[in-house]
């Protein structure tokens, strides 16, 4: 067992993460017993986060027995984080769902699927097709996502279906669409190594994306690293500049930096004039964000603001901007992401090595979900409301155009609201656990308990959501099925089936095929026989889109190429001739996906978060990742003994020493944390990692989201997890 040194967890996790990447055997990871020496290997893509690491799977008699990082894969270059090393071990958990469960009792697949279809039809007949909905995930293969979305919407007549990608990446989608004309992260991971300045805003890659952080550490250009975060995170500790802003003042900060760059003529006027729209209006807008105002609203000094601006002003060769959940999960998240994009545009830092306005994705296949889940976008990033797009998808899939909805789904929170109001009566959850993860958890569970029919399709029957389900469908996990993921840098990677699923669990793909048969719409999906066959259908759906993948010759090409970034058209393949470059950026030519091929400057006046601190609730609660060994609700990582030992054994509330002193608290003391919605009791950890008036809890504990305040960005409908008012009472 690993013994914690006499430092706070956040002070030692960073170095420990680096040691794990370099020498995992020190921690019991990746060790193969001699009696199980492999007789073959195959390649796979890790199924946890959006980094998309390549793994070498070691086989014995055709079954996976262990894994090691793939030294040749262009993403991770032979490194893996703790979760990747333990990816196989979590498949052996005792609480795997191995048979369908109807009202908690095992039944066969025939009984389960007949009940599923009969109940859904009954609800649709009584209340209309809009009374049934599905909520999907960024955790299953993108071919499976597409099958689910097509089956539910084209086959079963559902209008509404969204995914848990709404919790992590919806903001980036909305921001890129409006600014660039399409959901298009422009970067490649090489940019981590080729930047002169890297700016991380609301991102802690040292813990949340350790392999990306390893790429930063490989940078030989002696880069400056700027971190904008209220907390002194592990990444902030390693930075050359840390700006501990007041929570949710980042929009004001970014406008203030833009003000200084414009005032001092430190912008790329030629790029702005040739490749953007709306800059003059933006310049007029940020005129009011003088250093005095920005300093007062952010808590930073004017000297700090000048240093920030000086570090990125015109003349600095390569500046890259990176953001993730600290930005995306906010009440003005989309405009904050676009404020980052604006800085990249006005300094000309896009389309070149070591540059970009770069959204780091959350889940392994969130990028696949964004483009191919058929939820808020029609397959291939098309628009449900566009008649030409519907006709195109009809031709590509062979599905009659009349079966394709002419409007997009409600967003996740709107589906839950509709359920609360009695308009949605049944929800089908696939590989997601909202009873734990959704904001204002108790309210979510109250709504779930009102539904006439809750279906959970998951690897485990023990999740908080599965326990509330009328019907549980047992699904195979990563490694027990095949298909592709799309990672943060737009790279399609293939993962094979390397072991059998337990009991009667089936791949999600096979469950969807069976439901199509039992529903009676299997004729619509005659071509959808295998994941690779669906891949071919999706290639046709992508034709002519910025995300086109028609140049990929199939799974074998993806395997041999070390993954393939979109776009890849047949014309590009011909141009590349013998070899496709492993790293490609978007917007190299300065042309964007808008009608006029210019990027848009987007902006809005900052507003205070909806829930403010008060005399009764004087602290602001921040939430985030707890350790590099944890993932989401710990549905999988909690099953690994190794990962559990590497994670905090108790829930702890981080509090500043001055606040602890005022409350008479000592390290390890019990404390009640109370919001307007709920309360929990935890232990105190006194640390300078948070500022006075702020406290911090990791999001993985099942109790934390009882406290969070449910506010949503108006453009992306993404929840704001990062700002809730609480009070503290010694227990």
- Dist. CA 340–CA 15, nearest whole Å: 29
Residue 4 lies in a domain: no
Query: Where is pLDDT greater, at 52 or 15?
Result: 52
**End-of-domain residue from the set 66, 92, 118:** 92
Residue 610 lies in a domain: no
Burial class (CB in 10 A: 0-12, 13-18, 19+), 163: buried
Burial class (CB in 10 A: 0-12, 13-18, 19+), 46: buried
Claim to verify: residue 288 and residue 380 sit in the same structural domain: no
pLDDT digits (tens, 9 = 90+) for 518-561: 999 999 999 999 999 999 999 999 999 999 999 999 999 999 99
CATH of residue 629: 2.40.40.20
**pLDDT grade, residue 623 (50/70/90)?**
very high
Claim to verify: residue 164 and residue 207 sit in the same structural domain: no
* Vertex 347 angle, CA 346 and 353, to 5°: 125
The pLDDT, as a whole number, for residue 339 is: 98
Q: Residue 283's CB: how many other CB atoms inside 10 A?
A: 17
Rounded mean pLDDT, 568-578: 89
pLDDT digits (tens, 9 = 90+) for 115-164: 999 999 999 999 999 999 999 998 999 999 999 999 999 999 999 999 98
Number of H helices, E strands in the chain: 27, 26
Contact at 8 Å (CB) between 675 and 617?
A: yes
Rounded mean pLDDT, 89-93: 93
pLDDT digits (tens, 9 = 90+) for 261-291: 999 999 999 999 999 999 999 999 999 999 9
Contact at 8 Å (CB) between 687 and 660?
A: no
Claim to verify: residue 163 and residue 176 sit in the same structural domain: no
DSSP class per residue in 12-30: HHHHHHHHHHH-GGGGT-S
Lowest model confidence (mean pLDDT) among 7-16, 73-82, 424-433:
7-16
Claim to verify: residue 159 and residue 254 sit in the same structural domain: no
Claim to verify: residue 247 and residue 351 sit in the same structural domain: yes
Claim to verify: residue 529 and residue 658 sit in the same structural domain: no
pTM of the predicted model over 0.85:
yes
Whether the per-residue pLDDT at 29 is higher than 80: the answer is: no
Residue 391 lies in a domain: yes
Claim to verify: residue 291 and residue 246 sit in the same structural domain: yes
Residue 460 lies in a domain: yes
The pLDDT, as a whole number, for residue 37 is: 52
**End-of-domain residue from the set 92, 121, 140:** 92
Whether the per-residue pLDDT at 626 is higher than 90: the answer is: no
Residue 586 lies in a domain: no
**End-of-domain residue from the set 296, 331, 359:** 359
Q: In sequence order, what are the residues at sequence separation of 6 or more whose Cβ sits closer than 8 angstroms to the Cβ of residue 514?
A: 109, 113, 506
Among 592, 491, 427, 476, which residue's Cα sits nearest to residue 140?
Answer: 476
The distance from CA 116 to its chain's CA centroid, rounded to whole angstroms, is 30
Rounded mean pLDDT, 169-186: 96
Claim to verify: residue 684 and residue 723 sit in the same structural domain: yes
Domain span at residue 643?
619-730
What's the alpha-carbon Rg for the chain, to the nearest Å?
25
The pLDDT, as a whole number, for residue 165 is: 87
CATH of residue 262: 3.40.228.10
Claim to verify: residue 71 and residue 117 sit in the same structural domain: no
Residue 488 lies in a domain: yes
Whether the per-residue pLDDT at 22 is higher than 70: the answer is: no
Whether the per-residue pLDDT at 353 is higher than 70: the answer is: yes
The pLDDT, as a whole number, for residue 436 is: 93
- Dist. CA 57–CA 82, nearest whole Å: 16
Total domains, the chain: 4
* 101-104 LR contacts (CB < 8 Å, sep 24+): 101/461, 101/469, 101/471, 101/472, 101/474, 102/470, 102/471, 103/470, 103/471
Claim to verify: residue 269 and residue 370 sit in the same structural domain: no
The pLDDT, as a whole number, for residue 488 is: 95
Whether the per-residue pLDDT at 24 is higher than 80: the answer is: no
Q: In sequence order, what are the residues at sequence separation of 6 or more whose Cβ sits closer than 8 angstroms to the Cβ of residue 252?
A: 289, 293, 294, 297, 298, 606
The pLDDT, as a whole number, for residue 496 is: 95
Claim to verify: residue 474 and residue 565 sit in the same structural domain: yes
Claim to verify: residue 221 and residue 159 sit in the same structural domain: no
Residue 43 lies in a domain: yes
- Dist. CA 70–CA 80, nearest whole Å: 9
Residue 33 lies in a domain: yes
**pLDDT grade, residue 38 (50/70/90)?**
low
CATH of residue 19: 2.20.25.90
CATH of residue 568: 3.40.50.740
Q: What is the mean pLDDT of the chain?
A: 92
- Dist. CA 174–CA 679, nearest whole Å: 34
């Amino acid at each position: 067992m690993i013994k914690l040194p006499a430092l706070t967890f956040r002070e030692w996790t960073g170095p420990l993460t680096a040691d794990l990447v370099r020498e995992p055997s020190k921690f019991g990871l990746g060790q193969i017993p001699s009696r199980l020496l492999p007789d073959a290997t195959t390649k796979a893509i890790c199924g946890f986060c959006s980094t998309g690491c390549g793994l070498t799977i070691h086989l014995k008699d055709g079954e996976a027995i262990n894994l090691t990082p793939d030294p040749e894969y262009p993403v991770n270059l032979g490194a893996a984080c703790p979760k990747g090393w333990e990816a196989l071990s979590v498949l052996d958990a005792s609480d795997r769902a191995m048979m369908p469960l109807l009202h908690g009792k095992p039944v066969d697949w025939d009984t389960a699927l007949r009940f599923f279809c009969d109940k859904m039809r009954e609800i649709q007949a009584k209340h209309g097709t809009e009374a049934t909905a599905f909520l999907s995930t960024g955790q299953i293969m993108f071919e499976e996502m597409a099958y689910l979305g097509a089956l539910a919407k084209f086959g079963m007549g559902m209008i509404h279906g969204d995914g848990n990608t709404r919790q992590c990446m919806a903001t980036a989608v909305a921001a890129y669409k409006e600014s660039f004309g399409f959901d298009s992260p422009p970067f490649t991971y090489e940019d981590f190594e080729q930047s002169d300045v890297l700016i991380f805003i609301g991102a802690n890659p040292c813990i949340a994306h350790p392999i990306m952080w390893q790429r930063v550490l490989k940078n030989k250009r002696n880069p400056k690293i700027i971190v904008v975060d209220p907390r002194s995170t592990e990444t902030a500790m390693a930075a050359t500049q840390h700006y501990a802003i007041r929570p949710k003042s980042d929009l004001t900060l970014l406008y203030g930096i833009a003000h200084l760059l414009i005032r001092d003529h430190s912008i790329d006027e030629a790029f702005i004039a040739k490749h953007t729209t709306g800059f003059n209006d933006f310049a007029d807008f940020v005129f009011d964000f003088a250093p005095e105002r920005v300093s007062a609203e952010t808590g930073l000094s004017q000297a700090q603001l000048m240093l920030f601006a000086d570090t990125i002003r015109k003349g600095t060769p390569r500046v890259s901007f990176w953001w993730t959940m600290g930005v995306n999960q906010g009440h003005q998240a989309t405009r904050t992401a676009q404020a980052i994009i604006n800085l990249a545009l006005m300094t000309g830092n896009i389309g070149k090595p070591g540059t970009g306005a770069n959204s780091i994705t959350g889940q392994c296949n969130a990028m696949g979900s964004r483009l191919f889940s058929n939820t808020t976008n029609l397959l291939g990033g098309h628009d449900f409301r566009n008649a030409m797009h519907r006709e195109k998808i009809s031709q590509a899939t062979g599905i009659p155009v009349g079966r394709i909805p002419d409007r997009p789904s409600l967003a996740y929170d709107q589906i839950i609201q509709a359920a609360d109001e009695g308009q949605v009566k049944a929800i089908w959850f696939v590989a997601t656990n909202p009873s734990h993860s959704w904001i204002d958890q108790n309210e979510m569970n109250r709504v779930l308990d009102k539904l006439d029919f809750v279906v959970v399709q998951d690897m485990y029957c023990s999740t908080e959501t599965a326990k509330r389900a009328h019907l549980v469908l047992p699904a195979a996990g990563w490694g027990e099925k095949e298909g592709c993921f799309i990672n943060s840098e737009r790279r399609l990677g293939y993962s094979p089936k390397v072991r059998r699923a337990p009991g009667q669990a089936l791949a999600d793909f096979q469950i969807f095929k069976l439901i199509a048969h039992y529903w009676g719409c299997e004729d619509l999906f005659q071509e959808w026989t295998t994941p690779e066959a669906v891949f071919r259908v999706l290639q046709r759906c992508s034709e002519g889109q910025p995300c086109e993948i028609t140049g990929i010759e199939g799974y074998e090409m993806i395997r041999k190429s070390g993954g393939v970034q979109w776009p890849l058209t047949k014309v590009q393949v011909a141009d590349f001739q013998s070899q496709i470059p492993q790293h490609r950026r978007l917007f190299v030519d300065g042309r964007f996906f808008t009608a006029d091929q210019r990027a848009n400057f987007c902006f809005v006046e900052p507003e205070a978060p909806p829930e403010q601190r008060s005399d009764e609730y004087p602290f602001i609660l921040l939430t985030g990742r707890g350790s590099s060994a944890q993932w989401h609700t710990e549905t999988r990582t909690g099953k690994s003994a190794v990962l559990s030992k590497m994670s905090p054994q108790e829930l702890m509330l981080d509090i500043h020493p001055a606040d602890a002193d005022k409350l008479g608290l000592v390290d390890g003391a019990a404390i009640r944390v109370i919001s307007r919605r709920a309360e929990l009791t935890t232990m105190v950890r006194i640390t300078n990692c948070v500022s006075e008036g702020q406290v911090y809890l990791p999001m993985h504990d099942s109790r934390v989201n009882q406290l969070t305040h449910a506010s949503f960005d108006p453009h992306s409908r993404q929840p704001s997890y990062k700002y809730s008012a609480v009070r503290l009472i010694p227990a």
